[in-house]
């Protein structure tokens, strides 16, 4: 059972650790893999995503039954497609425990509660999470050689 947690600025070390972890970010290989996220970027990012999100962004950590951080969920409004884009990351050491599906359900519920009607995600064509999204009600919107766009009406 996962719970949502609104991180404090001092908790952002966990996001930095996940983004820099090769195993965790292996799904992101098509877009460069790990993502450097130095502390100098934390304040501006936190302000935009957590404090002054303007209803266009949502961000939460996921905690397990023991209160440990195991991942993150987020969405942001994409002006280009006119809908919210999903983000679910489970820290690699915690994968294989059903957290991905539970996290996706929590994200969809939060997006719907906040007024989103549809949620999208773009995944690399070989990302194993595609099956997870499909099992949780997403459908294929489009496909290229590089990515698949999935969609769920909330």
Enumerate the domain spans of the chain. Answer: 3-153
Whether the model clears a pTM of 0.95, i.e. scores above it, the answer is no
Written as six digits, the tokens of 124 are 């690399």
Taking the chain (154 residues) in consecutive chunks of 10 residues, what is each chunk's mean pLDDT?
A: 97 97 83 87 96 94 98 96 94 96 97 95 92 97 95 97
pLDDT at site 32: 74
pLDDT at site 26: 86
pLDDT at site 27: 76
- For the chain, give me the number of helices (H) and strands (E)? 4, 7
CA dist 132 → 42, 79, 135 (Å) = 30, 26, 5
DSSP conformation class of 134 = H
pLDDT at site 10: 97
Tell me: domain 3-153, CATH 3.20.20.70, correct?
no
């Amino acid at each position: 059972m996962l719970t949502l947690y609104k991180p404090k600025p001092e908790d952002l070390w966990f996001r930095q650790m996940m983004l820099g972890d090769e195993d965790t970010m292996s799904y992101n290989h098509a877009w460069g893999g790990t993502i450097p996220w130095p502390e100098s970027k934390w304040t501006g990012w936190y302000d935009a995503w957590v404090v002054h999100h303007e209803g266009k962004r949502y961000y939460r950590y996921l905690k397990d039954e023991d209160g440990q951080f195991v991942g993150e969920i987020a969405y942001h409004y994409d002006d280009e497609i006119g809908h919210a884009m999903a983000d679910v990351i489970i820290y690699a050491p915690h994968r294989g425990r059903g957290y991905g599906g539970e996290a996706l359900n929590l994200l969809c519920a939060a997006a719907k509660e906040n007024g989103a009607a549809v949620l999208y995600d773009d995944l690399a064509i070989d990302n194993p999470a595609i099956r997870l999204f499909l099992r949780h009600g997403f459908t294929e919107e489009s496909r290229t050689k590089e990515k698949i766009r999935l969609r769920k009406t909330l």
